[in-house]
A and B are shown apart, each in its own frame.
Chain A
Amino acid sequence: MDIQVDEQGGVTILACEGRMDAQVSDLVKDRIRELLDNGATRLVVDMEGLDFLDSSGLGALVSCLRRVKEKKGEIKLAGLRPEVRSIFEITRVSRLFHICETVPDAVKAFAKKE
Chain B
Amino acid sequence: MRKGKRACKWVRADVSSLTEISRFVQDWLSQREGYRESRKERYLVELAVIEACTNIIRYAYPPSSAGQIGICLKEEGRRIEILLLDQGIPFDPAGTRPPDLHESKEGGYGIFLVRKIMDSVTYRRRGGRWNCLRLVRECVRGGDGEQVGEGLEGLRRRIVSGEEEVR
Q: Which residues of A does B touch, CB under 8 Å?
A: 19, 21-23, 52, 54-56, 58-60, 62-63, 65-66, 82-83, 86-87, 89-93, 96
Across the interface, name the chain B residue whose C-beta is closest to A69: B104
Cα of A86 to Cα of B156 in the assembled complex, Å: 7
Cα of A83 to Cα of B57 in the assembled complex, Å: 25
Q: Which of B19, B39, B54, B105 is close to A83, meaning CB atoms less than 8 Å apart?
A: B39
Contact A90 B152, beta carbon cutoff 8 Å: yes
Q: Which of B47, B102, B104 is close to A54, meaning CB atoms less than 8 Å apart?
A: B47
Contact A90 B155, beta carbon cutoff 8 Å: yes
Q: Which B residues from 21 to 39 make CB contacts under 8 A with A? A: 22, 39
**A28 CB → nearest B CB, Å:** 12
Contact A62 B105, beta carbon cutoff 8 Å: yes
Across the interface, name the chain A residue whose C-beta is closest to B40: A83
Given contacts A21-B18, A55-B54, A59-B106, list 17 more A-B pairs with CB under 8 A: A21-B50, A23-B15, A52-B22, A52-B43, A52-B47, A54-B47, A54-B50, A54-B54, A55-B109, A60-B106, A62-B104, A66-B106, A82-B40, A89-B159, A90-B116, A90-B152, A91-B99
Across chains A and B, the number of contacting residue pairs, with CB separation under 8 Å, is 80
Cα of A24 to Cα of B43 in the assembled complex, Å: 19
Question: Which residues does chain A contribute within 8 Å of B46, judged by CB atoms?
Answer: 52
**B142 CB → nearest A CB, Å:** 14
**A66 CB → nearest B CB, Å:** 7
Contact B159 A55, beta carbon cutoff 8 Å: no
Instruction: Judge if B44 is at the interface, Cβ distance under 8 Å.
Output: yes
**B12 CB → nearest A CB, Å:** 13
Chain B 123-160, CB within 8 Å of chain A: the 1/0 string?
00000000000000000000000000000110110011
Question: Which residues does chain B contribute within 8 Å of A66, judged by CB atoms?
Answer: 104, 106
**A100 CB → nearest B CB, Å:** 19
Instruction: Judge if B9 is at the interface, Cβ distance under 8 Å.
Output: no
> Quick one: given A23-B18, A83-B39, A90-B113, are A56 and B156 in contact (CB under 8 Å)?
no
Instruction: Judge if B16 is at the interface, Cβ distance under 8 Å.
Output: yes
Cα of A83 to Cα of B47 in the assembled complex, Å: 10
Contact B107 A55, beta carbon cutoff 8 Å: yes
Question: Which residues does chain B contribute within 8 Å of A54, judged by CB atoms?
Answer: 47, 50-51, 54, 110, 113
